[in-house]
Amino acid sequence: MIPFLDLKAQYHSIKPEIDAAVTKVLESSQFALGEEVAAFEREFASYVGAAEAVGVNSGTSALHLALLAAGVGPGDEVITVPFTFVATVAAVCYTGARTVFVDVDPRALTLDVTNLERAITPRTKVIMPVHLYGQPADMDPIMEVARRRRLVVIEDAAQAHGAEYKGRRAGSIGDLGCFSFYPGKNLGAYGEGGMVVTSNADHARTIRMLRDWGQDRRYHHVLKGFNYRLEGIQGAILRVKLRRLEEWTESRRRHAARYNELLAGSPVRTPEAMAYARHVYHIYAVRSADRDGLQKSLQGAGVQTGVHYPIPVHLQPAYADLGYKAGDFPHSEAAAREVLSLPMFAELTSSQLEAVAAAVGEGIHAV
């Protein structure tokens, strides 16, 4: 059996440090926010290359608060892509604003800038590119359009810890960047967690208040806030794991290069790393015309895979009210039919990589 992800293997490789970090929080009893969260915020801001980082209880909360800090509310429009995890769109919904989709680029699977300007209306406030699978969207032309049209850019970097666009870290390029620390992410907590990074001091201050009931001091509520605080234990765990992130990222990149080599010449399409990107391979997704058949045959061979994501958000029943229909975003719809995510985690061994690639080859011939 080759798992899609092996969180236990990673824990065992850092167990003494993690156990000590958790014990320290238990002894301090700083369970919600506290010193470990504050230290992690400073370290993560510095890692990303932003002035500030604000820890919250999920990536979804990070997006929600980033949108609120940008002033988004009912009557506004936010532009993003339909080929993403549903949370990107849910966060827009929470603010009362409307999501306007533009399709993805068929190679990069991130926001296609050629479609961007015609989606802008007088109601547009924010452009929210998604750095899908760990590869940044093409940010220069997005920033150019945003600056010219006076729009805010919020990066959904939930899958892109340590990814780079022309040498700059994902999350530090737009006005605000949002990360998820869901356990399976490249930098994952042992529970839920998220972060907003920004170099705008006003935005950071607003988000710090909003995550903690809108208080500027205890029981003095100047904004209608939320209970979106990051837990002390997660902050302490994430500090330990951040020190390993570069090493783990390089392992992922080596694994991806090996998969590319082993699968070259096979009928599956391997993922394209764009010239501007340092891709961090949160997901390594191949494409196949018979994705479901291939997945079944890999399952039979003991290889666990995933599909990220089988239905683009504009075709999800929950978002039917946005008024889109099948055929509106052909590149997103094709990707949703064809992508298959292969096992990808730092601790994968070379024999596991070879076994997965061999099973893909056999699976293709069988289907």
Ligand X SMILES: Cc1ncc(COP(=O)(O)O)c(C=O)c1O
| Minimum gap (Å) between residue 267 Cβ and ligand X | 28
Residue closer to ligand X by CB (options 84, 124) is 84
Q: Contact, 195 vs 56, CB < 8 A?
A: yes
| Minimum gap (Å) between residue 70 Cβ and ligand X | 16
> Within a 10 A sphere around the Cβ of 23, how many other Cβ atoms?
11
| Measured distance CA(311)–CA(276) in Å, rounded | 28
| Minimum gap (Å) between residue 156 Cβ and ligand X | 5
| Minimum gap (Å) between residue 306 Cβ and ligand X | 12
Asked if omega into 309 is within 30° of 0 (cis), the reply is yes
| Minimum gap (Å) between residue 280 Cβ and ligand X | 13
| Measured distance CA(308)–CA(130) in Å, rounded | 13
**Helix, strand, or coil here: 1?**
coil
Residue closer to ligand X by CB (options 171, 363) is 171
Cα separation values, 240 from 40, 51, 126, 323, Å: 9, 21, 34, 45
> Within a 10 A sphere around the Cβ of 121, how many other Cβ atoms?
10
Query: Residues with Cβ < 8 Å from 153, sequence gap 6 or more?
Result: 126, 127, 128, 129, 142, 143, 146, 173, 174, 175, 176
Residue closer to ligand X by CB (options 81, 364) is 81
Position closest to ligand X via CB: 59
| Minimum gap (Å) between residue 134 Cβ and ligand X | 10
List the beta bridge partners of residue 269.
Answer: 287
| Measured distance CA(92)–CA(238) in Å, rounded | 27
Tell me the chain's radius of gyration from C-alpha atoms: 20
Residue closer to ligand X by CB (options 59, 363) is 59
| Minimum gap (Å) between residue 219 Cβ and ligand X | 28
Residue closer to ligand X by CB (options 130, 348) is 130
| Minimum gap (Å) between residue 136 Cβ and ligand X | 12
- List of residues contacting ligand X (CB under 6 A): 58-60, 84-85, 87-88, 130, 156, 158-159, 180, 182, 192, 194
H/E element, 180: strand 176-180
Residue closer to ligand X by CB (options 135, 172) is 135
The gap between the terminal CA atoms of the chain, to the nearest Å, is: 21
Q: Which two tokens stand for residue 172?
A: 């530090």
Residue closer to ligand X by CB (options 63, 356) is 63
Query: Residues with Cβ < 8 Å from 53, sequence gap 6 or more?
Result: 41, 42, 44, 45, 195, 196, 197
Q: Which two tokens stand for residue 361?
A: 């080859």
Residue closer to ligand X by CB (options 33, 130) is 130
